[in-house]
Structure 1
């Protein structure tokens, strides 16, 4: 005898949508999110970034909790700022009587490249790091005040 399902029982459908929602959330965490204005795929798992534009500079603020100042390497080339942070966790102690019951803190390396919207003065860039927050100030590139244009006489 064939058993008929209740057409008004939506519990199985609800469970399916719940599973799909969890899978999409997991994929989003693993793959990152689309940054339409930057035009690149980025992962927000390890480094959240804000970019602010002021009259004469750009300011990039990045969250790097758990890193030391010496763990951070910054480079700027053209219109690309690259932030790399690497830390090594201390190896297990030589104490034979102790062992980890749970170990989630590991060595970590994160990297993020940001395409800047304007040319910046690489030599004038500065950065500070305090309480897990990196702040990078990038002066906008200013063309020399000399007028390099060529005057054309109208005849």
Structure 2
């Protein structure tokens, strides 16, 4: 008596081969994906009862290098820094530190009170408090000072 083969064995083999190929492709993508945020500034936006709190990671920047502006519901966070240029004759084996400018625009879901906003910067973390507006007022751009 001749034993019949399972017709689904071929499908199982095919799915196993495809799975191995996809795993290999996934490893290649993970190896080439950059490990840093390509926008330059990572932010969290929290909706607390009476205000929005925006927390932004900006390591390596001085408080004076950061600029905040608010126009209507749009908060813009930007920073620029210049790395010191060495005039000595050092020969670098690797040089990755550079001058850079970063910027991030965040659209808030509601209007905020521009005059009551405030920001702090400590240990590379910028925190912006934006109290929610209760009454409609005319929108004007407003600069936010950093404490």
Taking only aligned residues, the RMSD between alpha carbons, in angstroms, comes to 3.0
Correspondence list, 1:1-155, <5 A: 14=20, 17-23=23-29, 26=32, 29=34, 45-91=39-85, 93-96=86-89, 98-143=90-135
Specify every segment of 5 or more residues in structure 1 that has no aligned partner in the other structure, as ranges.
Answer: 1-6, 33-42, 145-155
Which stretches of structure 1, 4 residues or longer, exceed 4 Å deviation after superposition?
Answer: 13-17, 24-27
SS in 2 for 1:111: strand
Q: Distance in 1 between matches of 2:127 and 2:71?
A: 17
Give the drift of 1:19: 4.0
Q: Deviations over 1:81-102 (max 9, x none)?
A: 11001111111x2223x22111
Q: 1:140 to 1:19 in 2, by over 3 A?
A: same
Normalising to structure 1: TM-score of the pair? 0.66
Q: Distance in 2 between matches of 1:17 and 1:135?
A: 40
Q: 1:25 to 1:114 in 2, by over 3 A?
A: farther
Q: Distance in 1 between matches of 2:135 and 2:31?
A: 46
Specify every segment of 5 or more residues in structure 2 that has no aligned partner in the other structure, as ranges.
Answer: 1-12, 137-147
Q: Distance in 1 between matches of 2:105 and 2:28?
A: 29
Tell me: higher relative CO, structure 1 or 2? Use CA pairs within 8 A at least 6 residues apart. Answer: 2
